[in-house]
């Protein structure tokens, strides 16, 4: 028996038994970490709405009195949604949009020809944007309420279809 034939069963076991468990960890950690960061940020904004409004005014953001509580709400609510993994793609989309706005307003100096791509890529907001993009593309993972809702909806549809297909007694 060659080396390839000896390794194959081990590889198949790792692929079928170990990797599914390992693959649950990155989405869970990403959701919880990003959710916590933005939940805390939103809570901090709510505790200092006047200061956030003044800061938004200094950046030239239109309607800062409306924008400050809106951003605080988005960060707080979407942060909580990410933590529990409910509406992950939707919450990540809203938070990603806040990162785009942050980069375009507060960090617009990084978008000039004098700066290198490394300057932009080194921003925490850009890294957050990448993580949100990953969550949008991949969802909340197996350990999320999204997964439970999806299983419930699929089961309901399958059970309903089976009941409709069975002959009446």
Q: What local confidence, expressed as pLDDT, does residue 11 receive? A: 86
Q: What local confidence, expressed as pLDDT, does residue 104 receive? A: 87
The residue among 32 and 20 whose pLDDT is bigger is 32
In the predicted model, is pLDDT for residue 108 greater than 80?
A: no
In the predicted model, is pLDDT for residue 166 greater than 80?
A: no
Q: What local confidence, expressed as pLDDT, does residue 169 receive? A: 45
Q: What local confidence, expressed as pLDDT, does residue 101 receive? A: 92
For 30-59, write each residue's pLDDT tens digit.
999 999 999 999 999 999 999 999 999 998
Could you tell me the residue ranges of all domains in the chain?
3-165
Would you state the structure tokens that stand for residue 2, as one six-digit string?
A: 């060659």
* 50 to 55, 58, 111, 143, 160: CA distances (angstroms): 9, 12, 29, 38, 53
Q: What local confidence, expressed as pLDDT, does residue 156 receive? A: 65
**Residue 82 near residue 135 (C-beta atoms within 8 A):** yes
Q: What local confidence, expressed as pLDDT, does residue 37 receive? A: 98
Residue 108 is given by DSSP the state: G
Distance CA 88, CA 97 (A): 14
For 121-158, write each residue's pLDDT tens digit.
888 999 999 999 999 999 999 999 999 998 888 876 66
Instruction: Name the average pLDDT for the chain.
Output: 89
The count of residues in the chain is 169
The residue among 104 and 117 whose pLDDT is bigger is 104
């Amino acid at each position: 028996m060659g080396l390839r034939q000896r390794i194959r069963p081990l590889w198949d076991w790792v692929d079928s038994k170990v990797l599914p468990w390992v693959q649950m960890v990155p989405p869970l950690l990403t959701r919880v970490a990003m959710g916590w960061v933005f939940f805390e940020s939103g809570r901090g904004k709510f505790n200092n709405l006047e200061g956030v409004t003044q800061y938004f005014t200094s950046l030239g953001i239109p309607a800062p009195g409306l924008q400050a509580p809106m951003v605080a709400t988005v960060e707080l609510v979407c942060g909580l949604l990410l933590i529990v993994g409910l509406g992950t793609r939707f919450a990540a989309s809203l938070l990603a949009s806040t990162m785009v706005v942050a980069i375009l307003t507060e960090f617009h100096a990084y978008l000039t020809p004098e700066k290198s791509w490394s300057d932009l890529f080194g921003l925490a907001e850009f890294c957050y944007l990448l993580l949100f993009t990953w969550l949008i593309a991949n969802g909340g993972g197996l350990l999320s309420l999204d997964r439970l809702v999806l299983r419930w909806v699929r089961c309901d549809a399958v059970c309903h279809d089976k009941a409709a297909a069975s002959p009446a007694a």
